[in-house]
Amino acid sequence: MSKKKESHGKLGGNLEDVHMNKDAAEVVEHHYNQIDMQRKIRREQLDELWSSSKVNHEGHWYIKLNDVINIISDYNDLYENESKS
């Protein structure tokens, strides 16, 4: 005797499909949350870089490389900690 899958609604889906779709939705939601977090951190990094001390040399603005590295590494640590939670 074969088991018949229970059909729901006009789409003809079954309970297993619904469960898989919920799992897929959770994965997609997690992915988009991480993207949002990355964008927020990137925006904060750029704000901090923009507000850092600059030197004007021949009409061009420069930031000390040490400052850039410190800012980026601080936010990389923050991102790693946020992505683990």
Q: pLDDT tens, 57-80?
A: 999 999 999 988 888 888 777 767
Structure confidence at residue 31 (pLDDT):
83
Q: How is the chain split into domains, by residue range?
A: 47-85
Q: pLDDT tens, 38-64?
A: 888 889 888 999 999 999 999 999 999
For residue 71, count other CB atoms closer than 10 A to its CB.
19
**CA angle 45–70–50, rounded 5-degree value:** 40
Distance (Å, whole) CA 20 – CA 56: 57
Q: pLDDT tens, 26-40?
A: 888 888 888 888 888
pTM over 0.85: no
Where residue 12 falls (left for φ over 0; alpha for ψ -120 to 50; beta otherwise) is left
